[in-house]
Chains A and B, each alone.
Chain A
Amino acid sequence: MTTDALMTQPRFFNASLAAELFRRQPLFAGAALCLLVLMAPTLFAMAVDQRTFLDINVWIKPFKFQVALAIYLATLAWFAGWLPASVAASRWHRIFSTIVVLAITAEMIWVLGAAALGVASHFNDSSPLAIGLYAIMGVLAVVLTSGALVYGVVTLRDRHSRLNPVFRLSVGIGLVATFALTAAVAGYMSGTGSHFVGGAHTDAGGLSPMGWARDGGDLRVAHFFATHAMHFIPVFGFIASRALPASKSRAAVYAFAGLFVGLVGYTFVEALSGRPFLGLLS
């Protein structure tokens, strides 16, 4: 049982990344692989389908969801390797991760189905069915994001971990922050009727590759940074735990996490006030 392949070297660099993911969390790794396979027909559909939604190809959104959810699952699978063995092998962990994968499956069917029909998935209030589906998918989005929360809490509480304690702290904070910040930003967003604030309600001419609005506020910017806390904060923690002495690296992780929450808050307020991301620079 190696719980610290990244920290002890050099095994990780010899093994293939995919095989390591499957060893750490087979269900999440398998689901990520399924999303990867699903990208092929989605891209094919993009190539043959001329229909647009908000002025861009209808298949761009499902493709972005496949990329985002595959990265999310692969990251969780990676972090699963650092969970205590007693948790990783437990029955409730198997049940919980199955629920997370089922929620992701439902979201994917919903977004693909809306694209196939050429209608809105999110913010769709055109019929009672569409409203009901959007509400259910909101609940399932919280369920799937709770994967980060649960992994984060378990990681923070794991005092017998073989991980570097500062790095472990950054992984735990990053995961919990992903859940808390995403729930706050996306929860607010879902109640507003659109992620655009001011500007034209179009995806054409967006900031590539994300497609964020250039002519007004776009709440998806804050959603993006909120959800990627589980990447930014652990990467900082990994570097800090190696570059700084233990006493300072811990404070540095807390400071970085605080700054990162500030960044999410800034992009959130920026969008709410109708200004585009990096609007000051352009």
Chain B
Amino acid sequence: MQPGDIFQICNVVAMAGWLALLASPFLPKLADRIAALAIPVLLAIAYAGLILAFWSGAEGGFDTLPNVMQLFTQPEIALAGWVHYLAFDLLIGAWEVRTARAERILFLVVIPCLALTFLFGPAGYLAFTALRAARAAISSTSQAGVAQ
């Protein structure tokens, strides 16, 4: 299997996880098993296999930016890095969906956070955290208002 083929397969697999998250209001348990367990495990197997096979032969390192860039000049390592994004972004997306459900946040307002997490990982996490903070502030303010 060539790195390009694995890249395509992993993208499709990750996309299935995101679709499961979009369908989560209708099948919360199934979506959770797919997006928070099954697909991250599959991607983790691919990632770990790539690292086992290609890390020892890779040039570069984690210590300086040029070294990290050097790592990513090798297709197999760049692929592993991409699979890392796919796996962890999906895990965070699944966590956002679970947290929103537990805190009774309207799913419609979670969708933009999911889209951001899908495209730009940490930006989506930031958006979701901001959303929760805003809700917490609003509810404490309104409770204070009731108390008066």
Contacts and interface: CB of A to CB of B under 8 A. Distances in A.
A43 B49 contact: yes
Give the most central of B3, B6, B45, B50: most A CB within 10 Å.
Answer: B45
A116 B47 CA distance: 14
B55 interface: yes
B1 to A, nearest CB: 6
Contacts of B32: none
Given A41-B45, A44-B46, A44-B49, A116 B56 contact: yes
Nearest to A49: B53
B50 A45 contact: yes
Contacts of A51: 53
Contacts, number: 49
B52 A42 contact: yes
B40 to A, nearest CB: 13
Contact of A48 (B44, B50, B55, B57): B50
A118 interface: yes
Interface size class for chain A? 10 to 19
Interface in A70-85: none
A136 interface: no
Interface in A103-137: 112, 115-118
B13 to A, nearest CB: 13
Contacts of B49: 40-45, 47-48
A47 B2 CA distance: 10
Nearest to B6: A48
Main secondary structure of the interface of A (DSSP, over half): helix
Contacts of A48: 1, 3, 6, 49-50, 53-54, 76
B52 A45 contact: yes
A47 B3 CA distance: 11
B56 A40 contact: no
A118 B54 CA distance: 10
Contacts of A45: 49-50, 52-53
Interface in A45-103: 45, 47-49, 51, 59
B48 A41 contact: yes
Nearest to A115: B52
Contacts of B3: 48
Contacts of A118: 56-57
Nearest to A58: B53
Contacts of B55: 116
Interface string B1-19: 1010010000000000000
Contact of A41 (B1, B52, B57): B52
Contacts of A40: 45, 48-49
A37 to B, nearest CB: 9
B45 A116 contact: no
B17 to A, nearest CB: 18
Contacts of B57: 118
A112 B50 CA distance: 13
A51 B45 CA distance: 19
Contacts of A59: 52-53
A166 to B, nearest CB: 45
Contacts of B6: 48
A240 B108 CA distance: 68
16 contacts: A40-B45, A41-B44, A41-B45, A42-B52, A43-B49, A44-B50, A45-B50, A45-B52, A47-B49, A48-B3, A48-B49, A48-B50, A48-B53, A48-B76, A116-B56, A118-B57
Interface of B: 1, 3, 6, 44-50, 52-57, 76
Given A45-B53, A47-B1, 18 more contacts: A40-B48, A40-B49, A41-B44, A41-B46, A44-B45, A44-B48, A44-B52, A44-B53, A45-B52, A48-B3, A48-B6, A48-B54, A48-B76, A51-B53, A112-B52, A115-B52, A116-B52, A116-B53
Lowest 7 A-B CB distances belong to which pairs? A44-B49, A41-B48, A49-B53, A45-B53, A45-B52, A41-B49, A45-B49
